[in-house]
Homo-oligomer: A and B are copies of this chain.
């Protein structure tokens, strides 16, 4: 079958704030080929990603993403790899291309799975999909008391694991941060899996990150996520050498599988966190999962948005039984939940699993998205290059 159309839908909550909450908008992707339709989602700024899809040609190595996808034949996973390589080569100077293609790539897997009546994890070569232990992902509170309340909420919502992120951490003293770590541990109970995400706050300042290690280790923090910016391999490597029990986690900023591999090899992370909506899709994420598996590093998804993105993010490591932890959007905006009719709810034992249904196994509800649809129009030299497509199925 031939890829006939790519539609990008920019969706947004009516009000978007500066909170570190990536579920306030979304870029949904629909691809059609033959009689089939697939859906995916870019974890990316919608407008620049739309522009990267449709922009005029700049030169041979700076082509719009759609030119490497539309009209291509799609019969098996090898076609998805071939198309991905074509995008990487022909859009090598278009920085936004990786984020833009990620949602398309997911949609190609979804479509192929539906055509073959197989779940994506089977197309990736796994014979079964293992249940994962989701963690509740929330922001640190404004003060330790609020952090403790959020930890209790995680526990009472049935989660064994919780990740606390951003907020005041790294903005005040190490002693103040330690109060938050202790509050999180108290709220979560002694047996909860406690994870900390500092959202690149230390830049590449290893010393400031080291100051937080002892309190984290005293509180039994399992991972210390994103101490530094996404490219700070040397800072990661230096910090990794000073840890005793906590392990570093990072990788969500990777927009190429090699970036994740370098965090493993040079940065010494113990957990590699991949967002399928940024790294180029499910295929590159699977490459990272294989690489991590071979090096004793644990693969984890990075997902902050819809259950469509969640299903996509589970596929690359669905068959890796010992890679158990899974990011699960704890308190997403209404928009993120509206994207799919079905949701990956926790089972009786509090676990979550990649669906057995064909493709990504999710039912995208275009009609429900009307209230969130953002009308966009891009004109270049008097020609309309993009206008928001209609939401009919």
Contact = CB atoms under 8 A, between A and B. Distances in A.
A21 B95 contact: no
A127 interface: no
Contacts of A54: 47
A25 B58 CA distance: 6
Contact of A382 (B204, B265, B375): B375
A259 interface: yes
A381 B256 CA distance: 32
A266 B233 CA distance: 11
B230 A44 contact: no
Interface string A170-193: 000000000000000000000000
Contacts of A278: 95
Interface residues of A, number: 71
Contacts of A261: 234
B12 A56 contact: yes
Contact of A59 (B20, B233, B253, B258): B20
A85 B204 CA distance: 12
A18 interface: yes
Contacts of A199: 61
A88 B204 CA distance: 13
Interface in A248-286: 253, 255-256, 258-259, 261-262, 265-266, 278
A309 interface: no
A278 B229 CA distance: 18
A231 interface: yes
In the complex this chain forms, how many copies of it are found?
2
A222 to B, nearest CB: 23
A45 B94 contact: yes
A50 interface: yes
Nearest to A253: B92
A160 to B, nearest CB: 27
A46 interface: yes
Most chain B beta-carbon contacts within 10 A, residue among A61, A95, A231, A376: A95
A262 B266 contact: yes
Contacts of A89: 200
Contact of A95 (B56, B99, B233): B99
Interface in A39-57: 43-52, 54-57
A374 interface: yes
A266 B266 CA distance: 9
Contact of A376 (B57, B88, B259, B380): B380
A280 to B, nearest CB: 11
A61 B56 CA distance: 28
A147 interface: no
A93 interface: yes
A379 interface: yes
A378 interface: yes
Contact of A24 (B58, B229, B262, B382): B58
A232 interface: yes
B56 A51 contact: no
A387 to B, nearest CB: 9
A95 B47 CA distance: 12
Given A20-B60, A377-B378, A378-B379, 6 more contacts: A16-B59, A45-B62, A48-B48, A48-B51, A92-B200, A92-B230
16 contacts: A18-B59, A20-B61, A44-B95, A45-B52, A45-B55, A45-B95, A45-B96, A47-B55, A47-B380, A48-B94, A92-B229, A92-B230, A95-B96, A262-B266, A374-B381, A375-B381
Interface of A: 10, 12, 16-22, 24-25, 43-52, 54-63, 85, 88-89, 92-96, 98-99, 199-200, 203-204, 229-234, 253, 255-256, 258-259, 261-262, 265-266, 278, 374-382, 385
